[in-house]
Amino acid sequence: MKSNYLFNIPQLLSLFVAQSNDGYAIYDENDMMIYCNHNYAQLLFDCSPIDVQTKTFAQSIRLAHTQNQGIKINCKNVEQWILMAQNKRWQKQYRSFEIDLLDGRWLRMSEQVIGGKFLYAHITEITQNKELENELRKTKDKLFEKAYHDELTGIPNRRAFIERMNKEMNKSLRNDSPLIFFLFDIDHFKVINDKYGHLAGDSVLQSMCSLVLLQLRDYDFVARIGGEEFAIVFTDGSQQNILATIERIRILIEEAYFQYEDEVIQCTASFGGTTLHKEDKLETLMSRADINLYSAKQQGRNRIEFSE
């Protein structure tokens, strides 16, 4: 069945491109723009079509850059950025990528080479999508933080500890490299809670963690694995230096004055440590450290018990 209407397809396409919210442009083989609609010039260069038509892509970028508008250029030298961009243009028959603008908006651009003599460019604004992506990423980061970090102290929790320990133990056994493990807790912590209150006890734990972290290197690992029980993993350094670090931590805790409101609280900590054996699993390693921690408690607390 034939339509009762005769359509002028080129005219309809021209009307569509002119009224579209997206941007369209065509460059010739010299990379000179021979056509763009209003939204292409506005979205990409923050100008009108007459300002960029008959200009090369490089000339349009320079013009926008001098007026501090258009594409965000992350190079100190705009010519360096243009050279990198030109090395990618015309190299593939089709490519798609994202760019951000100086005013905070985001665009998705696609470029298609037609017959080796023309480059067709299409851009559409995706700012809302990027904002949604950022919100989702922040939410994911918060959920990860909550799942793997102790809410009170901010250090890794037991779940993070188990995952990290399994990785470090496998790495140590595979590379035949040393791993030294310590458990420690605050002596008579229940007395602190009973005498000063649980909020005071929480404050002591937070301050004590801050003190410990200052004595450790970036690649040392400390986690809260129970109420007042913590673990430290060392995968680098001599046994002598590591034991010296633990002794320094013990002394600093003993000499510290933890302030909570009007109360000044002092405490001590006991430590039990051991080295990784080839036949060890996480349970046996922790059990050996726990036995040494118990021994430190039995021998008067505020001390270190270590066995190889």
**pLDDT tens profile 129-139:** 999 988 988 88
Q: Which of the four pLDDT bands, split at 50, 70 and 90, describes residue 7?
A: low
Mean confidence (pLDDT) of the chain: 92
- Tokens 């892509």 correspond to 57
Helix (H, G, I), strand (E, B) or coil at 179: coil
Architecture field, domain 149-307:
2-Layer Sandwich (3.30)
- Summarize the confidence of residues 21-36 as an average pLDDT: 95
Measured over the CA atoms of residue 278, residue 241, residue 235 and residue 186, the dihedral's sign is positive
Q: Quote the DSSP letter at residue 73.
A: P
Higher-confidence position of 4 and 203: 203
Determine the angle formed by the axes of helices 78-88 and 57-66, rounding to 10 degrees.
150
pLDDT digits over 53-72, tens only? 999 999 999 999 988 888 99
Helix (H, G, I), strand (E, B) or coil at 22: coil
What percentage of the chain carries pLDDT values higher than 90? 80
Residue 225 is inside which H or E element, if any? none
Q: Which of the four pLDDT bands, split at 50, 70 and 90, describes residue 241?
A: very high
Helix (H, G, I), strand (E, B) or coil at 57: helix
Nearest to 275 by CA among 168, 158, 155: 168
Comparing 9-130 with 149-307, is the CATH topology the same? Answer: no
Given a contact cutoff of 8 angstroms between Cβ atoms, the answer to whether 240 and 231 are in contact is no
Looking at 3.40.190.10, 3.40.50.1260, 3.30.450.20, 2.60.120.200, the CATH number of the domain 9-130 comes to 3.30.450.20
Give residue limits of the domains in the chain: 9-130, 149-307
Given a contact cutoff of 8 angstroms between Cβ atoms, the answer to whether 70 and 62 are in contact is no
Q: Which of the four pLDDT bands, split at 50, 70 and 90, describes residue 2?
A: low
Residues involved in catalysis: 228
| CA distance linking residue 58 with residue 85, whole number of Å | 9
